[in-house]
Amino acid sequence: MSEDKFDYEELGLMMGLEIHQQLDSQTKLFCRCPNSLTDKDPERKIYRRLRPTQSELGEIDRAAYEESQRNLQFVYEAYNHHTCLVEADEEPPAELNQEAVDISIILASLMHMKVVDEFHTMRKQVIDGSNTSGFQRTGILATDGYVTTEYGNVTIETLGLEEDAARRIGEEEGKIVFRLDRLGIPLAEITTSPDMHHPLQVKEVAYQLGQILRSTRVKRGLGTIRQDLNISIKDGARIEVKGVQDLDLMPTMVENEVQRQVTLIEISKELQKRGAEVETEIYDVTEDFANTESKIVKGILEKPDSCVLAIRLRHFDGLIGKEIQPGKRLGTEFSEHGKKMGVTGLFHTDELPAYGITQEEVDHLKDKLELGDDDSFILVAGKTEKANNALHEIIKRAKQSIEGVPEETRRAQDDGNTEYLRPLPTASRMYVETDIPTEIIEPERVKKIASDLPELPYVKQERIQKEYNLSEDLAGQLVQHNNADLFEEIKKELPGMDSVKIASDIAYTIKDLKRDHYDIEKLTKDVLVEIFKLVDEDIISAAETEVILKDACNDIKPIDSVKNNNLEKLSDDVIESAIKEIIEENKDMIEQRKMGAMGPLMGKAMAKFKGKADGQTVSNIVKNEILNIVNN
């Protein structure tokens, strides 16, 4: 990514982050179901359809309205132990999870925020099926914090505490399947102010917030954290990018979004200059493709109740195919809006002839639709109702292209681009939650929690690296995988044990065992202390711990593993006697090479002992025996 591609200050670039992190409490936020997921077959299913409702001011949220146009049925998989009637929206919520509140207060304190004295639960309308009730319960727990970056302080606007959504499992024709195990898991929502103005700054802030989250009791692993990025420029619009997972990709994503908005503004100005117009009449041109050679169109028309429909765009020629992001064009955005309605066959004049549609068919349609030289048409092939709905959405998006950049929610893609998801939600989707009383948060509670805050990960890494003489990589591995506390607890019980050996086995050996499908849950702190104690007390050599770790995963006690595998170290007398035999057998080599024989003899000795002798002990004895011969 080139930092100098744009003058971000001149463009008025503004960015904000929203981070959603699952909290590792014992239960869910508004019921006492376990805070965990399951892959078991569901014990029952619930079927729902959701529709938007008016806010207290009589308004309907535009994002909720668009979702309702898809007319989907939602299927919810439920369980006896992982879900209850609260997730099914069949009984009122239980009281707020106090453990989740305490974890959130820790986060607020680490971000220098002011914790509210009253927590009010609100309802946020969501009808994409991710909540059985059609709304998400959420509230603000703290405000007005900050993190420091090399570009200046960034304000943490709010810290919210809310329930996570249901887990999307799959999609069928007209149906989406969700699982209710994730619904209600406590979720911290961190929202920054839009006061980041450089692509690299947003990456730095995301990293710092990640460090803060990792220092507290939050869940780890795929799907436990979600990051959304808000981006806008002067004369553009606010775009919310959902699902930004890769911190390294963030600057590229910002640059690509800036490129998209800059180009859309240029297209808008050109369309206005041309006097462009989007006509709303939809034409049925199915008969004109009765003998088409296009495999795509033929395949669609072979299905019942299918058609080809067209609209006219006046003075759009050459602009629908204009690139707005790497590999994406304005026509791609039209297509993304149409595909939301369930169609896949969309074509426009800037890309035709192609896909088997001939120049002759294009010219025929231009004549039929009475298009001028700089006019365009868009075709949609699919089921009649879906094709009509798709073109209505495309008409709406085409009109927006004349006006400028539309406010949207977009989905992050792995290449640094984004794709259309839905309109940006409005404030009209928020309601007061009447089933949950106000939660009073006493100042003494906040003060007590703030007086004993956890160590931030990067501070912990620097400390244990220096204190225990570990490499930067080894200390980083312990902290990154949340094993630093385990390492220090073991060291506390075995202060004389080699720190590097303990850290290496925790960071690498156990990780390899997990990869090989060993049950590492059996490797508790007490079991690990028992294993490392065998090394500390010189019962086994350090190299043998892997064998015992494997056995421990299969419920074999460490001392039994030592006996079963004949791992007990040899006595010094036995070691010395065996080395003398090796020396006697290799006297000629010693006389020729002198101390140069050290390496080969060490290899022979270690091979003979097969890990039952300490390497340093063997080395000392071999060295002394060689010196005796050389000096005599």
3-state secondary structure labels for all residues of 9-22: HHHCCEEEEEEEEE
139-154 tens-digit pLDDT: 999 999 999 888 889 9
Q: What residue has token string 């810290």?
A: 159
For the whole model, what pTM was predicted? Answer: 0.78
Can you say whether the dihedral through the CA atoms of 200, 205, 206, 212 is positive or negative? positive
Report the DSSP beta bridge partners of residue 284: 309
Q: What pLDDT, on the 0 to 100 scale, is given for residue 505?
A: 97
143-195 tens-digit pLDDT: 999 998 888 899 999 999 999 999 999 988 789 999 999 999 999 999 999 99
503-536 tens-digit pLDDT: 999 999 999 999 999 999 999 999 999 999 999 9
Over 70: is that where the pLDDT of 247 sits? yes
Residue 113 structure tokens: 């925020």
- Judged by DSSP in three states, 434 sits in coil
Q: What pLDDT, on the 0 to 100 scale, is given for residue 609?
A: 79
Residue 144 CB burial class (10 angstroms; 0-12, 13-18, ≥19): middle
Residue 60 — pLDDT band, cuts 50, 70, 90?
Answer: low
Q: What is the mean pLDDT of residues 480-508?
A: 95
Residue 2 — pLDDT band, cuts 50, 70, 90?
Answer: very low
Q: What is the mean pLDDT of residues 304-320?
A: 97
Strands (E), 173-291: 175-179, 186-192, 225-232, 239-242, 277-278, 283-284
Over 80: is that where the pLDDT of 54 sits? no
CATH 3.30.1360.30 in the chain, residues? 271-406
CATH 1.10.10 in the chain, residues? 572-631
Q: What residue has token string 């209850």?
A: 84
Residue 392's nearest CA partner among 309, 303, 322 is: 309
Q: What is the mean pLDDT of residues 78-103?
A: 96
Fold of 271-406: Gyrase A; domain 2 (3.30.1360)
8 A C-beta contact, residue 443 and residue 474 = no
331-365 tens-digit pLDDT: 999 999 999 888 988 999 999 999 999 999 999 99
Over 50: is that where the pLDDT of 407 sits? yes
8 A C-beta contact, residue 223 and residue 169 = no
Q: What pLDDT, on the 0 to 100 scale, is given for residue 150?
A: 84
Say which DSSP state 595 is in. G
Fold of 572-631: Arc Repressor Mutant, subunit A (1.10.10)
Range with top average pLDDT, 99-108, 203-212, 426-435: 99-108
Mean pLDDT of the chain: 92
